[in-house]
Chains A and B, each alone.
Chain A
Amino acid sequence: MSEPVAISINVNGKSEAATVEPRRLLVHFLREELGLTGTHVGCDTTQCGACTVIMDGQTVKSCTIFAAQADGSEITTIEGVGSDGNLHPMQEGFWEEHGLQCGYCTPGMIMAGIGLLKENPHPSEQEIREGIAGNLCRCTGYQHIVKAIQYAAEKG
């Protein structure tokens, strides 16, 4: 047996202390231990971006980070974005522009969109497409996702 690791991670503004197996992936820690199942696992191979969260201000794929590596970090998941009746502009954009069909990729797409606008508040269409290059959607054909991000950028 490997030695468990004590970690403390700030998730959506709340400090979460836990003891985890070193091989515990961040996405499983979020979903299974904290019950934050909005972060999805699509591929488990770092390709699809469904597991995207924001860690210390940057988008990352939480299926390819051990929870132990995130010790001391600040993490925002989709649950930390907006609230019922008070959607984040990015969520509003996905709603208004029909940026989803099945919705599986949506939490990751929204986090990727938020990460993109943080770095580049007024991206061109090309920059938006490059900004979501780490996120796959098997339904929409991306057109409406791009529009949703444009909507959020215009709303500021």
Chain B
Amino acid sequence: MIPTEFDYRRAATLDEAISLLSETDGKLLAGGHSLIPLMKLRLSEPGTLIDIARLPELKGIAQSDGMIEIGAGTTHHEVETSQLIREQAPVLAECAAEIGDPQVRHRGTLGGSLAHSDPAADYPAVMVALDAEFHIKGSGGWRAARASEFFQDMFTVDLAPDEVIVKVRIAPVKYAAYAKLHQRASHYAIVGVCAALDLDGGVCRSARLGLTGAGSHAVRMPEAEASLAGKSLTADVIDVAARTASDNASDLSSDLHASEDYRRAMVGVFTRRAIEKAASR
């Protein structure tokens, strides 16, 4: 399977990547682990590829003003093994470790996964639950986007053709966990749930729940979140949250991996697991 012809440009700086995006009918190439398979199938036929994999502006994991900033060019493997992320936001390292297989994690990047927004991608669930902020630069300058507004539909995000995701900002978080039913061959999420809890003693002051894999794009689960607010996390309360998540799930997909009914059932199961795991941290 050979892609159609294209021109290859390696951007030396972020601004060069942005001007190449505006001047050509180009597409960014990061790890290539979503884009190249699509190009081989000729489902994507960009005229120019702008390689951003080595851009220094997209690299690095650091803490600044208490927040954690992760460059969009950070590979899944780098997220998985980062000491800072393991200590300050273990859920993210846990999520990265669940993506694909070792070879995929060595190449694929955080920014590529978010921009691509595969309905079954893992990071988006965690990003919406952690209320992440994406820092984006285009020919018009910088802007920030909230994760919950960024993912709009299947493979559709709030990103203009000349924009680059540069970094992701999240607050440190302890009581958060990701639970996933993975597709056996690819490891993509059939259903993936991230729970982020604001715990005070045994009481859950508020909760944010992110869902991926189930429908066209990652979403929050507001009804289930509300059912947890102000409650002690007893088995009954978690049960109600799981049932609420399942009952209110809309836009469910049905495909060869799972029927709509099965996905609905699994939304409940994995919501429960994510909450239990988050609370036990």
Contacts and interface: CB of A to CB of B under 8 A. Distances in A.
Interface stretch (B4-12, B139-147, B261-269): B4-12
Given A47-B185, A64-B37, A64-B107, A2 B53 contact: no
Interface stretch (A8-16, A65-73, A83-91, A94-102): A65-73
Interface string B93-114: 0000000111110110000000
Contact of A22 (B49, B101, B102): B49
B102 A116 contact: yes
A44 B103 contact: no
Contact of B101 (A1, A5, A45, A133): A133
A60 interface: yes
B7 A2 contact: yes
Interface residues of A, number: 32
A89 to B, nearest CB: 20
B5 A134 contact: no
Residue from A59, A64, A68, A116 with most neighbouring chain B CB atoms (10 Å): A64
A115 interface: yes
A24 to B, nearest CB: 9
B interface, size bucket: 20 to 34
B8 A64 contact: no
B205 interface: no
Given A59-B103, A69-B29, 16 more contacts: A2-B6, A21-B5, A22-B8, A25-B2, A45-B37, A46-B104, A49-B101, A59-B102, A64-B33, A65-B36, A66-B8, A68-B51, A112-B102, A112-B103, A131-B102, A133-B102
Contact of A2 (B8, B40, B186): B8
A48 B179 CA distance: 25
Interface in B3-58: 3-8, 10, 29, 32-33, 36-37, 40, 49, 51, 53
B33 to A, nearest CB: 6
Contact of A59 (B53, B106, B186): B106
Residue from B29, B103, B107 with most neighbouring chain A CB atoms (10 Å): B103
A45 to B, nearest CB: 6
